[in-house]
Amino acid sequence: TRTTVGIVGGGPAGLLLARLLHRAGVDCVVLESRDRAYVEQRQRAGILEQGTVDALRACGAADRLDREGLVHDGVELRWDRRGHRIDFPSLTGGRKVWVYAQTEVVKDLIALQLADGAPLLFEAQVTAVTGADTGRPVVHYRHEGVERTLECDYVVGCDGFHGVVRQAIPDGELRTFERVYPYSWFGILADVPPSCDELIYAHSPRGFALHSMRSPTVSRLYLQVPNGTDPAAWTDEQIWDELEARFAIDGDWKLERGPITQKAVLPMRSFVTEPMRWGRVLLAGDAAHIVPPTGAKGLNLAASDVIVLARAFTALARTGSTAELDAYSDTCLRRVWRAEHFSWFMTTTLHTAPGQSEFDTRLQLSQLDRIASSPHAAAELAENYAGLPVF
Ligand code: FAD
Ligand code: DHB
C-alpha cells in the first residue's frame, strides 16, 4: 500500500498529526505497535497548555475536554514551609492551562480517527524505515503475523524515545544532546479528591513533591526518589507520610489520603536530536526530544511539533512548496530548546540532588524567593509554564 504521510506511532503526536492532516485533506496512515487498550491506559502527562487546547479545538477533538477538563489559572510553589501562588492570566496576558489527562486526549483522538479518520492500525510493529534519502521511503512493519510495507512520500517518526524511525537516519547525520538526572519520580494515582484547587510544586529538605490531579475525585501525586527505586518497596502509609512531610507548611493545610490505585517510578532525562529531519524522514515529539517532567512540557511539545508539521504538509499539498517543510526542524528546535531550558530550570530548582551542597540549596531558595518577590521573575515562570505561543 501507499500513502502521502506514513506516521509511525499512535501516541499524542501521531494521533494529533493524523487528525490535523485528515482535516486538511492530506492522506496518511498511522501504525501503532501496541493495542488500543494499552495506548488508552498508559498513565502519563496531565497538563495541557493553551496552544495544545487551541489545536484540539480547531480539529474538533475538544468536546469532552471542554466539558470535563479543569481550567487552572495558576500553580502554587512551596518552600521553607510556606506557599506562593503564581497567577497565570495576570502575568501572561490571559493564558492558562487545562488539567486533562493524556489518556483522555488519546481516547478522544482514537475515537474520532476510527469514526471518520485516516487508517489507524494497532498491533502494527514497525521494524525499519528504508530509503529515507530517496523520493519514496518505505515503512516495514508486521501486522497480524504478516510482514508488510507502506510506501510513502514522507515518513514521520512519532514513535517515542525508544522508537525505530530515528535509527533510519545514518550515524553521523544527527547530533544528540543529553542530560540524565540523579533522581526519579515515584508517581501515584489515588481515589481521593485533590487536597488543593491548583497544582503544588514543593521544594523541601526531604526532596521534591508535586500534587496534581486527574479529576475532582482522583489525585495524582509525585515524589522525588533515588534512581532505581522499586515502587513495591514502599507501603501506602510510607508514601502518604512522605508526601505529607514534603508538602508541610506553617498554617492549616491538610493532605487527604485515599486508596492508591497505581504506582510507578519514572527516570528523568533531557534529550534533543538535531536536526529533526533527514531526507524524507521527520521526527516529532518524544522521538526527537525528551524533557524531565517538572513543568509539564513533554506532551505540549509533541503537540506543537505536529502543529508545525501539519501546516507544512498542508502548504505542500496546496502550493507544491516545500519551504515550510524545509524550515520544520529550525522552527521547532527554537521552541524545543526553550522548553528544555524551562524543564531543566524547574527540575534543578525544585529537586535536591544526592549529596547536594548547602550552597546549592541556598541558591535554590534564593531563586524561589526571587520568584515570590518580583513580578518579572514570576512572569518568566508563568509565561513558560502556561506555554509560549505556538509561533
Ligand atoms: P509517545 O506517547 O511515547 O508515543 C509513541 C507511540 O509510538 C507509542 O504509542 C508507542 O507504542 C509507539 N511505537 C513505539 N515504537 C513503535 C514501533 N516500532 N512501531 C509502531 N509504533 C511504535 N509529560 C508530562 O508533561 N507530564 C508527565 O507527568 C509525564 N509523565 C510521563 C511518564 C512516562 C512514563 C513517560 C514515558 C512520559 C511522560 N511524560 C510526561 C511525557 C509525555 O507523556 C510525552 O512527552 C508524550 O507522550 C509524547 O508523545 P509522543 O506521541 O511523542 O510519544
Ligand atoms: C503532571 C505532571 C507533570 O510533570 C507536571 O509538571 C504537572 C502535572 C500530571 O501528571 O498531572
242, three cell numbers: 512522605
Of 42, 43, 44, 47, the one to substitute when testing ligand 2's pocket (max ligand atoms within 8 A of C-beta) is: 47
Residue 11 alpha carbon to ligand 1 centre in Å: 6
What ligand is nearest to the CA atom of residue 121? 1
What was the pLDDT predicted at 171?
A: 86
Q: How far apart are CA 126 and CA 106, in angstroms?
A: 20
Residue 46 alpha carbon to ligand 2 centre in Å: 5
Residue 157 alpha carbon to ligand 1 centre in Å: 12
**How many Cβ atoms from other residues are within 10 Å of residue 354's Cβ?**
9
What are 177's strand-pairing partners? 272
Of 29, 123, 299, the one to substitute when testing ligand 1's pocket (max ligand atoms within 8 A of C-beta) is: 299
Residue 347 alpha carbon to ligand 2 centre in Å: 12
Sequence-distant (6+) residues with CB within 8 A of 323 are: 315
Closest ligand 2 atom to residue 296 Cα is 6
Give the residue, by CA position, lying nearest to ligand 1 atom 45. 298
What ligand is nearest to the CA atom of residue 110? 1
Active-site residues, by number, are 72, 201, 293, 297, 385
175, three cell numbers: 547530533
Tell me how many degrees the CA angle 330-333-336 measures, rounded to the nearest 5. Answer: 160
Structural contact between residues 42 and 187, judged by C-beta atoms closer than 8 angstroms: no
Q: How far apart are CA 162 and CA 70, in angstroms?
A: 32
- Answer positive or negative: Cα dihedral of 45, 51, 54, 59: negative
Domains of the chain, start order:
2-71+97-179+268-349 (3.50.50.60), 181-267+353-386 (3.30.9.10)
Q: Does 47 contact ligand 2 (Cβ within 6 A)?
A: yes
Residue 312 alpha carbon to ligand 1 centre in Å: 23
Written as tens digits, the pLDDT of the chain (391 aa) is 899 999 999 999 999 999 999 999 999 999 999 999 999 999 999 999 999 999 999 999 999 999 999 999 999 999 999 999 999 999 999 999 999 999 999 999 999 999 998 999 999 999 999 999 999 999 999 999 999 999 999 999 999 999 999 999 998 999 999 999 999 999 999 999 999 999 999 999 999 999 999 999 999 999 999 999 999 999 999 999 999 999 999 999 999 999 999 999 999 999 999 999 999 999 999 999 999 999 999 999 999 999 999 999 999 999 999 999 999 999 999 999 999 999 999 999 999 999 999 999 999 999 999 999 999 999 999 999 999 887 6
Pocket lined around ligand 1, Cβ cut-off 6 Å: 8-14, 31-34, 39, 44-45, 102, 125-126, 158-160, 163-164, 266, 285-286, 293, 296-299, 302
Helix (H), strand (E), coil (C) string for the chain:
CEEEEEEECCCHHHHHHHHHHHHHCCCEEEECCCCHHHHHHCCCCCEEEHHHHHHHHHCCCCHHHHHHCEEECEEEEEECCEEEEEEHHHHHCCCCEEECCHHHHHHHHHHHHHHHCCCEECCEEEEEEECCCCCCCEEEEEECCEEEEEEEEEEEECCCCCCCHHHHCCCCCCEEEEEEEEEEEEEEEECCCCCCCCCEEECCCCCCEEEEEEECCEEEEEEEECCCCCHHHCCHHHHHHHHHHHHCCCCCCCCCCCCEEEEEEEEEEEEEEECCEECCEEECHHHCEECCCCCCCHHHHHHHHHHHHHHHHHHHHHHCCCHHHHHHHHHHHHHHHHHHHHHHHHHHHHCCCCCCCHHHHHHHHHHHHHHHHCHHHHHHHHHHHHCCCCC
Q: Does 294 contact ligand 2 (Cβ within 6 A)?
A: yes
Residue 63 alpha carbon to ligand 2 centre in Å: 22
Give the residue, by CA position, lying nearest to ligand 1 atom 53. 160
What ligand is nearest to the CA atom of residue 266? 1
Q: Say whether the ipTM exceeds 0.95.
A: yes
What are 70's strand-pairing partners? 99
Closest ligand 1 atom to residue 125 Cα is 19
Structural contact between residues 278 and 257, judged by C-beta atoms closer than 8 angstroms: no
